[in-house]
């Protein structure tokens, strides 16, 4: 009986989805997590504290959003699908600390959005998003001029392995290097396909990346450093010298001089370099007169 008087969030979401005849859009990766107990565990892992501002990306049917509203100070949810508006209005009804905006997060101006809603205060990100935008959204957040203090996000298991990878391994990539420059990543929980509605065809992992208080390497120009990282991994079969030539328009001599100044072998491939070595190359690039 009490369930009818005070339905669980999962039931509220299921009723709202049914009532508004919502049909999941496969192309938007709409695999929802509706289990309140699972979401509560994920939010424990996300370490959201009562005074936190939280940017939730892709609220879906809003169960996670409602739980966040109980744990955090303010919640700003960004959802691309306007078709979810009636569902979210039902599920989030009366939650005064939640705002939902309908837009594509990839096109959003993060600074404007977070300054408007969090008055310029620090914020954290929580997201269960379609896996095809994992890398793009992580790079957008990590390289933003107003980066979050942490990012707790559901990713495909293989993406988690890439994010956690070490230099010199097959997995080491621009995404890993950029994220490790941003913060410390850890895998928190394995999530099986059956936890989602509908289930995806892949295993998932919930990960959290905590922004470093002080970055692991001191870059004189973070934008140039990121550009160098992307260039270093651009064509994996090419040597770093060749990738430098095409990305920065250097001559062979200039590329050689940069690598020499950085103390890096000119025949090395970018993927073999540590963050520290990549940063030395970036600093050397900054110091030569091109
Ligand atoms: N967080 C909800 C949950 O756990 O049930 C929904 C997860 S579902 C995997 C992904 C959600 O992200 C969907 O609601 C989808 O419409 C939304 N989404 C997809 N692409 C988006 C984008 N570019 N910007 C904002 N939201 C997006």
Terminal Cα-to-Cα distance of the chain (whole angstroms) = 75
Atom of ligand 1 nearest to the CA of 81: 16
User: Which atom in ligand 1 lies closest to the alpha carbon of residue 129?
Assistant: 10
Q: What is the mean pLDDT of the chain?
A: 94
Give percent above pLDDT 70 in the chain. 97
Taking only the tens place, the pLDDT of each residue in 250-266 is 999 999 999 999 999 98
* pLDDT band, residue 168 (cuts 50/70/90): confident
Task: Give residue 6's pLDDT band: very low, low, confident or very high (50, 70, 90).
Answer: low
Helices (DSSP H) in the chain: which residue ranges? 2-5, 9-19, 36-46, 63-71, 85-91, 110-118, 134-142, 157-163, 174-182, 222-232, 240-248, 252-262, 275-287
Mean pLDDT lowest among 1-10, 70-79, 193-202:
1-10
With a Cβ cut-off of 6 Å, ligand 1 is lined by: 28-33, 57-61, 64, 78-81, 104-106, 128-130, 133
DSSP 26-62: GGGT--EE--HHHHHHHHHHHT--TT-EEEEE--TTS
| CA of 153 relative to ligand 1 center, distance in Å | 12
Confidence at residue 216, expressed as pLDDT on a 0 to 100 scale:
92
pLDDT of residue 267: 85
CA of residue 100 to ligand 1 center, whole Å: 12
In the predicted model, is pLDDT for residue 186 greater than 90? yes
Instruction: List all residues 6 or more positions away from 37 whose beta carbon is below 8 Å from its beta carbon.
Output: none
User: Omega into 42 within 30° of 0, i.e. cis?
Assistant: no
Report DSSP state, residue 168: T
| Residues 193-247 pLDDT 10s | 999 999 999 999 999 999 999 989 999 999 999 999 999 998 878 889 999 999 9
> Sorting pLDDT into bands at 50, 70 and 90, what band is 270?
confident
What CA–CA distance (Å, rounded) separates 256 from 270?
A: 14
Do residues 125 and 137 touch, judged by C-beta distance below 8 A? no
- Whole-number pLDDT of residue 236: 77
- How do residues 13-72 score in pLDDT, each as one tens digit? 999 999 999 999 988 989 999 999 999 999 999 999 999 999 999 999 999 999 999 999
Residue nearest to atom 6 of ligand 1 (CA): 60
pLDDT at 1 over 50: no
Report the residue among 92, 130, 138, 193 best suited for mutation to probe ligand 1: largest number of ligand atoms under 8 A from its CB: 130
Mean pLDDT on 141-151: 96
CATH of 2-211, one of 3.30.70.260, 3.40.640.10, 3.40.50.150, 3.40.190.10: 3.40.50.150
CATH topology of domain 222-287: Helicase, Ruva Protein; domain 3 (1.10.8)
pTM listed for this prediction:
0.94
State how far the Cα of 274 lies from the Cα of 147, in Å rounded to an integer: 23
Report the alpha-carbon distance of residue 171 to residue 169 in Å, rounded. Answer: 5
Q: How far is CA 98 from CA 9, 58, 153, in A?
A: 15, 14, 19
- 102-125 pLDDT, tens per residue? 999 999 999 999 999 999 999 999
Of the listed ranges 25-29, 99-103, 151-155, 175-179, the least confidently predicted one is 25-29
How many Cβ atoms are within 10 Å of 50's Cβ, its own excluded? 8
- What is the Cα–Cα distance from 22 to 83, expressed in whole angstroms? 7
Q: Where are the domains of the chain?
A: 2-211, 222-287
Distance from Cα 49 to the centre of ligand 1, integer Å: 23
Query: What integer pLDDT is reported at residue 283 of this predicted model?
Result: 95
Q: Ligand 1 centroid to 131 CA: how many Å?
A: 10
Residues 6+ apart with CB under 8 A from 249: 290
């Amino acid at each position: 009986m009490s369930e009818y008087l005070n339905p669980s969030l999962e039931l509220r979401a299921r009723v709202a989805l049914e009532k508004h005849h919502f049909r999941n859009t496969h192309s938007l990766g709409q695999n929802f997590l509706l289990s309140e107990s699972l979401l509560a565990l994920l939010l424990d892992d996300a370490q959201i504290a009562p005074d936190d501002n939280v940017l939730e990306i892709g609220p879906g049917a809003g169960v996670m959003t409602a739980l966040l509203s109980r744990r955090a100070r303010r919640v700003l949810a960004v959802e691309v699908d306007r078709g979810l508006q009636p569902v979210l209005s039902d599920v989030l009804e009366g939650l005064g600390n939640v705002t939902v905006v309908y837009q594509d997060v990839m096109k959003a101006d993060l600074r404007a959005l977070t300054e408007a809603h969090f008055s310029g205060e620090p914020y954290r990100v929580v997201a269960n998003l379609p896996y095809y935008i994992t890398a793009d959204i992580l790079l957008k957040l990590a390289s933003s001029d107003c980066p979050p203090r942490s990012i707790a996000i559901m990713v495909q298991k293989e993406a988690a392995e890439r994010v956690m990878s070490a230099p010199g391994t097959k997995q080491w990539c621009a995404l890993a290097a950029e994220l490790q420059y941003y913060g410390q990543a850890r895998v928190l929980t394995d999530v099986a396909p059956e936890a989602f509605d509908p289930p995806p065809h892949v295993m998932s992992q919930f990960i959290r990346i905590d922004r470093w208080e002080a970055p692991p390497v001191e870059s004189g120009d973070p934008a140039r450093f990121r550009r160098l990282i992307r260039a270093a991994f651009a064509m994996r079969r090419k040597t770093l010298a060749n990738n430098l030539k095409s990305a920065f328009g250097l001559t062979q001599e200039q590329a050689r001089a940069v690598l020499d100044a950085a103390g890096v072998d000119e025949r090395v491939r970018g993927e073999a370099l540590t963050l520290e070595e990549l940063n030395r190359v970036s600093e050397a690039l900054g110091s030569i007169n091109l």
